[in-house]
Structure 1
């Protein structure tokens, strides 16, 4: 496994990032992975490495680069229930300032970078994200449907921008929701909007999970939820991108 630390040019200056991809040469389908609000840290390296091990070139940008290099706040090795509120209080103003327009502008830089890499196969890419990063994945798929063939989001506010954004998506998609984030009634409402949008998708609540269930370094982590996430994500990417 190769992991590279990167600087990517954007319209608003250079952004930090890292990429993970298989050793041994060759070209691999590209996947853009958006972190949760806590950003780049060892657990994100684990997730990207796991996905790269299935044959993908995985790019993880520091999407809050306008505020400095990651980490933007002092993160403990383990984010417990006591630590989480204070960390989010520091990060939320930065998250709220990261508008849909910024996301679209930055997505052009991330996608252009992927297209230029000799290790990345020609053709469409996948996007996936966690928490707020899942919303960024949705925005990217909606902004560049000609480039994005697969979309996944975990414990994410996927409909935060409204049905109009969902209607622009053409990718095959999977949305895995935390049980603490959506009631069955809210899931039914979301699924009606997804059906109206007309793209191929699955959308489900992962039983017994709370927000952040994929993140091994937090109190929210749920091993069964993470396994379910991989069981949904890998076939989605393999089917839409031709296999890793």
Structure 2
């Protein structure tokens, strides 16, 4: 956790740019999607805000602090997001409580971002991760179907 805590949104944004350049060097120059889990959820949305010409789909599952008071909170960058956004929230999640969900929804709505925020009622933070104590097989399968459909619809690929 010390290593994870030592990373920042800015580091991830910089790394996202490097990944996009590496993809372009391999001939992948079209639009792409990004997905993040837990703290990666905010990073996926901030990457979409930072690279709106390349990232056309951004998804977050059990993402935390997506609409906090922090200066690097994705809700503060909603106007920069041109991607379609999907947010799957845990039924009860201290890192993304209902008031943050409402704040994020309002920020995305005000910025005219095409988005869905879906509550996975009955599952806990971390439900998608097989080796996590909160893993929920039915919820994980549901998330996978939603994610693959979201990418297929948004990016036009399977």
Q: How is 1:119-134 mapped onto 2 (pairs within 5 angstroms)?
A: 120=28, 122-134=29-41
- The aligned length equals 151
Q: Which residue in 2 is equivalent to 1:72?
A: none
Higher helix proportion:
2
1:155 alignment partner in structure 2: 62
Give SS of 1:207's match: strand
2:84 is aligned with 1:172: yes
**Deviations along 1:149-207, whole A, 9 cap, x unmatched?**
11101000223415321221110110000112145454333322221222101001101
Structure 2 unaligned regions, length at least 5: none
Distance 1:148 1:185 in 2: 27
- Structure 1: gaps (5+ residues): 1-90
* Pair 1:95 & 2:4 matched: yes
Q: SS at the partner of 2:124?
A: coil
1:226 aligns with 2:135: no
Moved over 6 A (4+): none
Task: For 1:193 and 1:100, locate their aligned partners in 2 and report how far apart those are by CA, in whole Å.
Answer: 19
The 5-angstrom pairing of residues 1-244 of structure 1 reads 91=1, 93-117=2-26, 120=28, 122-157=29-64, 158-160=66-68, 161=73, 163-181=75-93, 182-244=96-158
Q: Tell whether the 8 Å contact from 1:177 to 1:206 is kept in structure 2 after alignment.
A: yes
Give per-residue Cα distances to partners, 1:22-61, cap 9 Å, x unaligned.
Answer: xxxxxxxxxxxxxxxxxxxxxxxxxxxxxxxxxxxxxxxx
TM-score of the superposition, structure 2-length normalised?
Answer: 0.86
Provide the secondary structure at the position in 2 that maps to 1:129: strand
Contact 2:62 2:125 in 1 (8 A): yes
Q: CA deviation at 1:131?
A: 0.6
Paired position in structure 2 for 1:8: none
- Rg larger in 1 or in 2? 1
CA contact 1:125–1:150 (8 Å) conserved in 2: yes
Classify the secondary structure of the residue corresponding to 1:140. Answer: helix
Counterparts of 2:33 and 2:104, CA distance in 1: 22
RMSD (CA atoms): 1.8
Cα–Cα, structure 1 residues 237 and 110, in superposed 2: closer, same or farther, change >3 Å?
Answer: same
Contact 2:45 2:74 in 1 (8 A): no
